[in-house]
Structure 1
Amino acid sequence: MKIIVVEDEVDILRGIQEVIDHSQLPFEQVFAVHTAEEALELIEQYRPEIILTDILLPEMTGLDMLESVKALAYGPKVIVISSYNNFIYAQRSIQLGAIDYILKPIHKEELAEKIGVVYDMVQRELISQDQIKNQIAYARLGTEALQEKFVQGLCMQKTALQEHIHHRLQVWGMQWLETDSYVLISLSINREDVRGKQDKDMNLDLFAIGNIADEILKSYQPSVIIRSIHHDWVILTAWEQELSIAQDIHERVLKYQKIIPAIGISERQHSFQAISEAYEQSRKALKVALMNSNQRIASYADIIDRIDHEDIGLVRQWVAEAVLGGDAEVVSLWLEEMIHRFILDRDVSKTGDLSIKCFEWILEVHSCLAEKVDMEISHFPLELWEKAERCPTVDDLKRLLRDHLSELMKLVADQQHPSLPNFMIDKAKRIIDGKYGEAITLQSVADELSIHPVSLSKLFKKETGQNFLDYLTEIRIEQAKRMLRDTNLKIYEIAEKIGYQEIQYFGKLFKKRTNMTPKEFRYGR
């Protein structure tokens, strides 16, 4: 607490200072000046809680000074000293905020008592103000806790917009959720990025990130941020450029905390009841961001677009066929997609969980491959699993598995019987020879062989020197030539028997292959 004494008479000023010193009141600072002008400068700078001033001062009076102090609007306690027993002075002093009026000559005991009374009054007010501030703070914390619990409930289960929900949204200024479209953004940090830190330090980091995000959201309203049940952060926002929010948070957290945050963004929702669905989407996107060092801001729309919804059993067979055919591009493509799919599994929360999923899938690929090549595929060293367990990031795991499948392709190429690819193509040829008159396609033949059509196409070209369609056309034209020579079937009947429904199309193909029309070929022209 601070006090200022304004008195132009030196002896009286010194006497008042002595009274204050002997009172043993714990003032933080005691200012003593001779003029109102000096006093105003100090009052404006330090805002002392108690002002003790004479009325008659050089140039500016004490009452005029109090008029100027009143304009500062900070409410000090004022004791006025005067040698005039004049009601008008006393009345104006009270109007200007004085709580006591002392006549000269001053008695030290009386002055000490009055200063002590005012000191106690200010002290009680300060304590009361602190209590009110604490009560407001506790009330705000309680309100925030209730709001957090309410929003967590909306995130965890689908909630209809009933009347009591409507009232709560109004209380917390969240009624925009009833009318505006919105997204959910989940925000966290990767524990592997801050390896070595204790839990309390990580909690401090998360707390700091939440504060940064809260400050940023003031520029992106309407928005609200709460703690999730996973102890990280969830943002609900109607701001239309949600990616701008994510990028702003990412940049500021990196700048001020030296931490790379992971951020997952839901699809934009247009229904209040969809909050729980949006929350689930943002958590899935967050998981991708947490486990992928190259994609720390992930959108649910993007990760869903990337997923191929093919049956996982078919994918295993296609990968096995790609390994068999030495197609590294197809192997790499499906490996990438399967890892992406595994990341979104509910039971995968860290790289170790993902390693187990991938290990089991590689074993299944081995099993499919062993069935196809009629040989034992035992090239799966225990070291692979041990290395997978030690992979710190998803990228490291991808590289490890990609390298393993490449080694597997080399092993199959070195150990398999030379006639194996020919066997596969021979089987494809037999299917074509038996069904050339039907609506046969690359896909239908691939399905019969349990092989991906892309792999079959590449293998067919590699082993025969021509693509699938050229071979099919060649077989059909040869059969047409035989029927034109040896039967009396009409030309359109022959076209239908070899798989062509349009006689004009058949005629063009026949002439392109033989340099004759079917009729010219039949009559030897």
Structure 2
Amino acid sequence: MYSIFLVDDETLELEMMRDYIRWEEMGIYVAGTAINGKDALEKIEVMQPDIVLTDVQMPIMNGIDLAKLVRERYDWMQLVFLTGHDEFTYVKSALNVGAVGYLLKPLDLTEIVAVMERVKQQCEEVRLKNRSIQAAKANIFKELLFERSTDRIDNLKSSFCKLARRQEAGTYCLLLCDIHPGAQGDGTVMEEAVKAFTSLAERFLAGEKLAGMTVVIRDSEVGIFLDCSSETATETGTGTSLKAGHSAVFRIAERWSSFLQENADFPVTIAVNEKAAGLSDLAELYEQSKQILADQFYVGEGKVISQSENRTPFHDELMPPFPSERWLEAVNQLDAEKARELVHEYTAGLIRLRAGRKAVCDWALQLIGRLEEEILHQSAGGYERGEMYYSIYNCRTIQQIESIVLKTAEETMERLGERFMDKNAKLVHQVCSLIDQTYHEPITINSLSDQVYLSPNYLRSIFKEKTGMTIHDYLTKIRLDKAKLLLADGSLKVQDIAQRVGYESTSYFISLFLKNQGVTPNEYRKSL
């Protein structure tokens, strides 16, 4: 629908126009009324209707003078005049200031409908033209975000000024927004979310009386550039110019976030850049804003992040140690609460340190891999590993990575619980746990069978059935895995390592290592 503003100094006629003409049937709603040109101009500035229907002769400021001022300030508004039969001179003046048409008093409904159809057509043409201009301006902004050529930047600035009908392009603050529609990787869902987002942005800027530019940058990233040099760039309700800096821009961002929470069905993270930049410096402004937005990894989705909250990431190689043995033991004992507590405390520490994203992802993948190998005693296939790698590295936040680790641990404990329902599986799991804990001691099939009260032959049979390997092979795997970890310590001799993992004979250990790994212990150490 289109909005219309009514102006007439005759109160009765004004009320009749407002209440008795069936505007809604014509696709129009009355935005407001005024009794003279001066009163109307003040209200029009706030309401900015599509159409102004004004009487010609009025006290204080007549309709012709009002129309001239409206045309100067809002050249897209459509003007229609009310005049009497004996006021042809005024009609000519009305047409000279760009009126779409005029209505004669007393008003005729048929005539009103005919004139309004013509006016609505003009309104639609203006809207299409403005959308085209806005799209062209947004494309210029998008190019400026990645352009490095000075000549090209100057040409883009010149084109923008022509489109905006301005001599100076102005300065801009940036709200860089990251949209999370929910269905990861679904292009259709993302496209619909971005479309809804841009529509909401237009509504918000109009409602706040803010001059701005909404630019879809790439994927889920959309920038709202607030014009800090515009006369309308004030903080609604306070009159504070955006030039006042961070406090004003940040409050606008908070209102924008609240508006999204009320009207959008997906979360949006907003990075607030405190600085204002001209068109020549938009690329730098954008890079700074991306660095602020990167803090989303630590603070979570759907937040407003400012420069002052942004912190320098901790060095990737200095990840604090995680108590993985205690955690694996908790999982192995089906202690879900303890497993959750250890992971949550650790990730909270990573957030405080701003640990590097890659290091966090690698930690999660390694931990999940150990769950499968050391608890379930199996290795994930290439497809499963690829899927897990994709899931971890596509997480937007450390909280999402934590959730994947915890979910995998819960699933592992469920599978262990199911295994324990099988008597033989439970016994095999018990044997695996004994080997894991005492691998460095002399272990024989007889010593193991005595501890689980089974005959050696029966133990061999059920172990092979449940794990796909012999007890000897499993023991060798555990010992050599531990040996590879110890080889990373250059201060340890190969002889010492052999004894630590349960082999009295160093030569036997070396030959076993070569057979299983394809290299000697010393060659393996050199490759680290």
TM range (shorter): 0.3 to 0.5
Report the TM-score when normalising by structure 2. 0.42
Q: Which has the larger radius of gyration?
A: 1
Report the TM-score when normalising by structure 1. 0.42
